A and B are shown apart, each in its own frame.
Chain A
Amino acid sequence: MSDSGSVLTAVSVPIAREHKMLLLNTTGTGAPFFTKDNPYIVLLADPVSTVWPKYIADFIKDQGVANGIKRVAILYSTNDFTNTQANALRGFLKQSDKVEIVFDQGVPTSTSNYNVLIGNIAAAKPDAVIELGYVGNDIAFLRNLQDSGEQFPFLFTIYSGLEKEEVQKNVGASGLANVFTYVTGAYIDYKPTTGMTNEEYRKVWEATYPGGHVEYGINAIAGYMSGLVIESALAVTDSMDQLALRKAIFSLSGKLRTLDGPFELDDMGGQIGEITPLGQFVADGKDNVKLNTIYPPAFANAKPVFETK
């Protein structure tokens, strides 16, 4: 199942389980898909979504509070992928008594207009705004934010990092400047033990899809990683029985390093080895931005910049 997000995965999980077929799940990261009583699923390329926002919360608690980031607004799309992240983020932040959540609202994933919501968020006077949506949501949100003239010291969106080319094409470099986001394997060299390096793969991708019809991003990497994992599993499986395939994939856990980082599974088939460091876009010339890694310190290559009002 190649599903950027979790919409198709949500219906695939019960179908695969019903028919006792192993669901090779590329990027459907919603935490509810992975349960102890269902062996017919394995997540190949991205971490489960409860893992994703950990470094956002850690950063705010470790460094944000010291820089005046104390009031947080969370705006999320109500689908499995982002709803789970919002729940996890809320839980992480509530562990600190120095951080207050002043705005916390879900919106339908089909939301394409955020003007009124941005006004409502601004009225809550947050220091940090964390918008968790799909790529269309993030583009609409960032465009509406530019038009509104509102600024927040800390602004986070998911897909500006995951699909940078696509988002930048739609909101411009100025719309991405100083935005915090996740840092994917496209920006960190995890020194993969299988397949091409990021640089080699990107060259092949751009030769295959010239003209920007299909942008390079996390989904491009995820598809390739899934192929490599499946190839490696087929090489070691005892048979083509569905649970034998699962066992073969699990045998790779902890032994494989991909473009996305260490390939590691929990006992429910969720991907937990790969991480999503926190990054921030900064201006790089007049019409471009570059992504710095900000947190955790082990990966950081720059200091954060907090937008001033």
Chain B
Amino acid sequence: MLIQALLGGLVFGLYFTLIGLGLNLVFGVMRVVNIAQGSFVMLGAYAAFFAWGLFRLHPVWAAVAVLVAFFVIGLPLYYLMIPRLQVAKDAEMLSLILFFGLAQMIEAGASIAFGSTERSIPSIALGFRSVTVLGQRLPSAWVVSAGVSAVCVLGVYLYLYRTLLGTLTRAVMVSRTEAVASGIDVDRVCAVAFGVGIGLAGVAGVFAPFMFGSVTPAMGDTVNIAAFAVIVVGTLGNPLGTVLGGVIYGVSLLLMQTYLSSWANLLPNLLLVAVLLARPSGLLGRATRNA
């Protein structure tokens, strides 16, 4: 049972990395809290549901389509919302309120459009049901979503550390004011980062019907709680620290399910409190500040 919890938690945690990755990128670059992240995950889930239902589109291809579509949606959304926020005195706090409102609108709209009952995609859509690793059977959804998550993490790493745009993005992450003074088109850099963040949320959503069993328009809040635990543990503002946060979250969750199942939903809060008390800047805090 221990090996199953550890191995499963490692793979399962990579999915939560994917959920938190976009949220952390947006916070790292813009210092705004996109509390509507869970709603974009939900929209990604419905996009995959309809892509499968209407066109029998494989979830991996659906993820590619959703990444592009959500990125494109994210660009105008950025220009509509974020620049106005950035001139406010307390942008972080105001962003909470603004994105909370956006999340409510998205959830209500989705309930009207899709209904409130559970929706899912059959596991066989992924092509296989399970994989045996070290004698432990892992569901196909865990393996595929972990693989996609790894690709996304690699993509974000390459974007941040191997492209000119990424260099500019990291400059904005260190100091927006200095980036503006240096002549960087901060809005363009931030718009791309915001689009990528929304795109990653959509990709996470594509696999949500498999990872959560089913989805409803109200799933966003649950996703947000997990996402915040992951990014705070991994280090708020450090997108790559999300990997560590996700793995710790996944392993801890499955260990709790195995040995203390009734208390498993306390875990995100316990992790948040523990990290905030012991290391408020997150487990990779120092790396973030010097990025």
Interface residues of A (CB under 8 A from B): 78, 105-108, 110-117, 119-120, 123, 135-136, 139-141, 143-144, 146-149, 166, 169-172, 213-215
| A136 & B139 in contact (Cβ 8 Å cutoff) | no
Interchain nearest-CB distance for B34 vs A (Å): 22
A148: chain B residues within 8 A (beta carbon): 130, 137, 139
| B140 & A147 in contact (Cβ 8 Å cutoff) | yes
Q: Count A-B contacts at CB 8 Å.
A: 99
| B129 & A107 in contact (Cβ 8 Å cutoff) | no
Segment touching A, from B172-180, B196-204, B255-263: B255-263
Using A140-B213, A147-B130 as known contacts, say yes or no to A116 and B118 having CB atoms under 8 A apart. no
A169: chain B residues within 8 A (beta carbon): 119-120
**B118 is contacted by which of A113, A139, A146 (Cβ under 8 Å)?**
A139
CA A215 – CA B214 in complex, angstroms? 15
Considering only residues 24-44 of chain B, those with a C-beta below 8 Å from chain A are none
Interchain nearest-CB distance for B207 vs A (Å): 12
A123: chain B residues within 8 A (beta carbon): 1
A135: chain B residues within 8 A (beta carbon): 118
CA A264 – CA B137 in complex, angstroms? 49
CA A13 – CA B179 in complex, angstroms? 57
* Chain B CB within 10 Å, residue with most, of A110, A147, A166: A147
Considering only residues 132-182 of chain B, those with a C-beta below 8 Å from chain A are 136-142
Total chain B interface residues with beta-carbon distance under 8 A: 36
| A115 & B8 in contact (Cβ 8 Å cutoff) | yes
**B212 is contacted by which of A112, A149, A166 (Cβ under 8 Å)?**
A112
| A111 & B1 in contact (Cβ 8 Å cutoff) | no
* Chain A CB within 10 Å, residue with most, of B123, B137, B141, B213: B213
Instruction: Let me know if B122 is at the binding interface, CB within 8 A.
Output: yes
CA A227 – CA B265 in complex, angstroms? 37
| A116 & B123 in contact (Cβ 8 Å cutoff) | no
A106: chain B residues within 8 A (beta carbon): 261-262
CA A147 – CA B210 in complex, angstroms? 10
| A113 & B140 in contact (Cβ 8 Å cutoff) | no
| A147 & B139 in contact (Cβ 8 Å cutoff) | yes
